[in-house]
Amino acid sequence: MSRAFTPKVVTANSLLEGDAVWLTEDDRWTKVMAEAELIEDEAHAQIRLLDAQARAGEVVGPYLADAREGENGPEPVHFREEFRTRGPSNYAHGKQVERA
């Protein structure tokens, strides 16, 4: 018996900046996971992933990440995705500087 599909978001890294980004419903890449499209249908998730993979001039390494509906939009389910929402960890730059 196969496992039930869990909601997903499409995520990748920005080709120019290296930041983690998420695909929105209107086909933009955003640095804010809460703005991402939460996909609840497996077939639609695969189509959205194929769309993201075709955008090699914008992002690298797109994949589907588990997510859940939160108060303000999609939220991470796993530590890895939670970590990616915070930005680089080696020194303050990118998202870390913007939040300060």
Global confidence as pTM: 0.85
Here the tokens at position 97 are 């500087």
3-class DSSP state of 43: helix
Here the tokens at position 39 are 């996909």
Given a cut of 70, whether residue 97 has pLDDT beyond it is no
Extents of the domains making up the chain = 8-90
81-96 pLDDT per residue, tens: 988 888 766 556 556 5
36-86 pLDDT per residue, tens: 999 999 999 999 999 999 999 999 999 999 999 999 999 999 988 988 888
Q: CB pairs under 8 A, 24+ apart, for 93-98?
A: 94/17, 94/18, 94/19, 95/19, 95/31
Here the tokens at position 80 are 């890895």
Share of the chain above pLDDT 90, in %: 71
Using 50, 70 and 90 to split pLDDT, how confident is the model at 18? confident
